[in-house]
Amino acid sequence: MKAGPAAVAIAAIAAGCGLPDSDYYGKVPEVTDPRHLRFCNSGEPESLDPATSSSTAAMKPVYELFDGLTDYDPNGLPEPSLATHWEVSEDVRRFTFHLHDRGRWSNGRPVTAHDVKYQAVRTLHPSTASINASMLAEVKNGALYNGNAVRLVVRDTGALRAGDIVEVLAVDGRAIGDWRKARQAWPDSNQRRSTATLALRDRGAAAADAYARVPAGEPVQVIELAGDPLHPAADTWTYVYWARGDGVYGWVPWGELDVVPNAAVPHRVRRVPPRQLPGVELSASELAVGDPPADEVEVAGADLLMVPDVLGIRVPDDHTIVFETDNPTPWFLFLSNSRALRTTPTEAVSRWPRRWTDVEHIVTSGPFHLVEWKQRDKMVMVRSETFWNQDELKLDKLTIYAVDDQAAASNLYFTGGCDALTTNHIPASYTRALQGRYKDFHIEPWLGVYFVLVQTEKFPNRHLRRALALAVDRSVIPRILHGGQFPSAQYMPGTPIAELSDEDLALCGVSRDTPGVASIMVTGELCYVPPPGLDFDPERARQELALARQELGKDFPSKLVFKFNQGSEQHKLIAEYLQHQWQEVLGVTIELEVQEWKTFLADTKNGQFELGRFGWIGNFPDAEGEFLPLFRCGSPNNRSRYCSPEFERALGAAKPIRDRKQRLERVYQAEQILVEDAPVIPLFVYTQIHLHKPYVRDLHINLVDQPPLHEAWLDPDWKQHLED
């Protein structure tokens, strides 16, 4: 069988021969269309919905299709977009964004603060099952809302008054935690039925204009009331969710929801503390006192409703949105450009909750609009004629190829088929030969950590996890990958301490010979040196393994299965190295399992793995706000299923502290608990490895790998400009 071009390229690289004898790797075609960028992505996005996407393959297209309060500037920092300016309260608990009036959806409708709120509430609502909900967990009652465990009291009942906000502790005599452990849904006080057919439609539309009809007696879930939820009239518009098939949302008059199935179901509740009440401001002394314990009372389901009114998200007018957090949240501004707050269109999401980003349904607000999407092939986007900032757009067309195999992507670039490769989509075997030889090859720092996740429900034994962490010699990894990666047993990524400036060394309180990394959180002001982690120690590893065998007895696993996704030579090399290392040091049998990217994402999200390769790329350098939430109990991003009361207490102790240096002392304690428990086994700090043609201009490579692609352009006269 004749070898394909990708295989030939790999062989040439490995042999160190057959490489182009020029300044650039592969063909540099003539620029015939300077306003069309062809970009090789790292695979098929799991979703283009900002609420349900999180992978590096999804982020770049998502951020080009949907606008946010802020966007990423060339350095990866928030810059004004829909919001022109903002204010932060002195206690860092209230964030007010002011929007301009020029934003437009691709269907022509104005983009308003209500659209931002819709996305935030949708991300948090349990019916969305958003993997990004943890980003907004600090919003007042955000975590409780996401857990379906907060309610508005809608009428006076016993010791409670209408308008009280309560946390639900138990339903029908069974604790919420027990329902969750059994993975069962408890009787929902928001469930309603109708004795007549419900016509789901846009708010204010006639029943004849319904886009879905719910048969009489079918259950729906109340999401929101357009009016006062304490005094709804029969004609108050009510937003509901019908879970049939792919699901559908729609508006109906409140009076049509005339059956309350769980009206009599008892709920044990308690008032939320004052710090969690939307619109209530507390003094520093009141916050310092802490939250007094609230009495637990029992109420009927008919007296409770979960609506967005319980959240610290308010829209005073079409161009203002206010977020309130339980505690000081110094990183909240860095969430303003995140996927959790990228605007999404109510009208499209309501009709097709799982398919609204299909080409025939999608409504966009960003620089580009999607016109073609061939699964596992390519997405084609064109300049959005309704985007408010046309002067910023330097491209008319953006083609994003979904090439999940690194060798295939590199070969496509080599032959001139794409203008740039996404970060780290070059085989590890290429990098040694390309580095220092070609001007279109680039290595830059990256705010990301590569690690092994341990599914702790399958491996609850701490000693086994610690043994695996201690058995890995990370110093070998740079010689395997050849990409400048920094081996580290620390979880929070940062800059190698040996490479810090003298000023940053002083800021971090370390000397140049201190091992590990440090994170410069605020230039010249704030540094965080994460705990050292469980670095290579074969003797300790074997001791921990002996303790695990002793405690587990006959339940000690005969083998461990390590999952990773296909298409990346880096993942394969790391998997094979770990397999060898764990067998060599511990005598543990490791079976490798490779999966297609979307299958791998689904399996790890659902806990269907034992050990798996993973990584996390930060949007901003903050352990508490960006990296540690992955391991909070109940976090939708917690693929390891780790849940530690000690870890939770340490993070909780940091929350009320306004002084950031004092706060970081508690964060350090929390991260130390995490690395000692070893649900995550850090391996190295990422670097960004890129190839992009010499005619590509303004493709800003930044620390968080969020280049604004719409600002890039192709220079037909690049040779002349190089000479100049």
Residue 3 confidence (pLDDT) above 50: no
Q: Which is nearest to 604 in space by CA: 556, 582, 636?
A: 636
49 band by pLDDT with thresholds 50, 70 and 90:
very high
Residue tagged 């949240």 (tokens): 329
Q: Is the model's pLDDT at 255 over the cut of 60?
A: yes
pLDDT digits (tens, 9 = 90+) for 243-254: 999 999 999 999
Assign domain 5-81+343-442 to its CATH architecture: 3-Layer(aba) Sandwich (3.40)
Sign, Cα dihedral of 569, 570, 575, 581: positive
Q: Give which of 588, 578, 604 is closest to 556, Cα–Cα.
A: 588
Where is pLDDT greater, at 281 or 332?
332
Asked whether the predicted pLDDT for residue 634 surpasses 70, the reply is: yes
574 alpha carbon, distance to own chain's centre: 24
CATH topology of domain 190-261: SH3 type barrels. (2.30.30)
> Cα 493 vs. chain centroid, distance in angstroms?
17
The domain covering 445-494+530-687 belongs, at the CATH homologous superfamily level, to: Dipeptide-binding Protein; Domain 3 (3.10.105.10)
CA 505, distance to chain mean position in Å, is 31
Nearest to residue 100, comparing CAs of 109, 112, 116?
112
Residue 616 has pLDDT above 90, yes or no: yes
pLDDT value, residue 680: 98
Q: Which residue has the tokens 């880096």?
A: 570
Is the pLDDT score of 290 beyond 90? Answer: no
Query: Measured between alpha carbons, how far is residue 672 from residues 532, 584, 654 in Å?
Result: 8, 27, 14
Share of residues in the chain with pLDDT > 90 (%): 92
Which pLDDT belongs to residue 14?
Answer: 43
pLDDT of 358-401, one tens digit each? Answer: 999 999 999 999 999 999 999 999 999 999 999 999 999 999 99
Residue 722 is predicted with a pLDDT of 78
What is the C-alpha to C-alpha distance for residues 460 and 465, in angstroms, rounded to an integer? Answer: 8
The domain ranges of the chain are 5-81+343-442, 151-189+262-273+295-305, 190-261, 445-494+530-687
Question: How confident is the model over 198-243, as pLDDT tens digits?
Answer: 999 999 999 999 999 999 999 999 999 999 999 999 999 999 999 9
pLDDT of residue 6 exceeding 90, the answer is: no
Short-list 635, 540, 689, CA closest to 146: 635
**Would you state the pLDDT for residue 574?**
97
pLDDT band at 16; cut points 50, 70, 90: very low
Q: Looking at beta carbons, which pairs linking 716-720 to residues 24 or more positions away fall under 8 Å? A: 716/30, 716/31, 716/34, 718/31, 718/694
pLDDT for 491 beyond 60 = yes
Q: What is the predicted pLDDT for the residue at 721?
A: 83
Q: Pick from 330, 290, 337: which is nearest to 79 by CA? A: 337
- Which H or E run includes 11? helix 5-15
Run of H or E including 438: none
- Residue 287's pLDDT is 73
| pLDDT higher than threshold 60 for residue 4 | no
Q: What per-residue confidence (pLDDT) applies to 15?
A: 41
Specify the pLDDT at position 705: 93
| 716 Cβ neighbours under 8 A, 6+ residues apart | 30, 31, 34, 695
- Residues sharing a CB contact under 8 Å with residue 579, sequence separation 6 or more, in sequence order: 562, 590, 592
pLDDT tens digits, 549-595:
999 999 999 999 999 999 899 999 999 999 999 999 999 999 999 99
| Averaged pLDDT, 25-50 | 96
Percentage with pLDDT > 70 across the chain: 97
Does position 638 have pLDDT exceeding 50, yes or no? yes
Q: What pLDDT shows up at residue 294?
A: 85
Q: What pTM was estimated for this model as a whole?
A: 0.92
Q: Which is higher by pLDDT, 293 or 515? A: 515
Q: What confidence score (pLDDT) does residue 5 get?
A: 35
Q: How far apart are CA 621 and CA 619, in angstroms?
A: 7
pLDDT confidence band for 456 (50 / 70 / 90): very high
Residue 540: its H or E element: helix 538-552
What is the residue-wise DSSP string for 200-237? EBSTT--GGG-SEEEPTT--EEEEEESS-TTS--TT-E
Closest Cα to residue 635, out of 66, 644, 512? 644
Mean pLDDT, residues 598-611 taken together = 94
**Span 507-527, average pLDDT:** 95
pLDDT in tens, 118-148: 999 999 999 999 999 999 999 999 999 999 9
Q: Average model confidence (pLDDT) for the chain?
A: 94
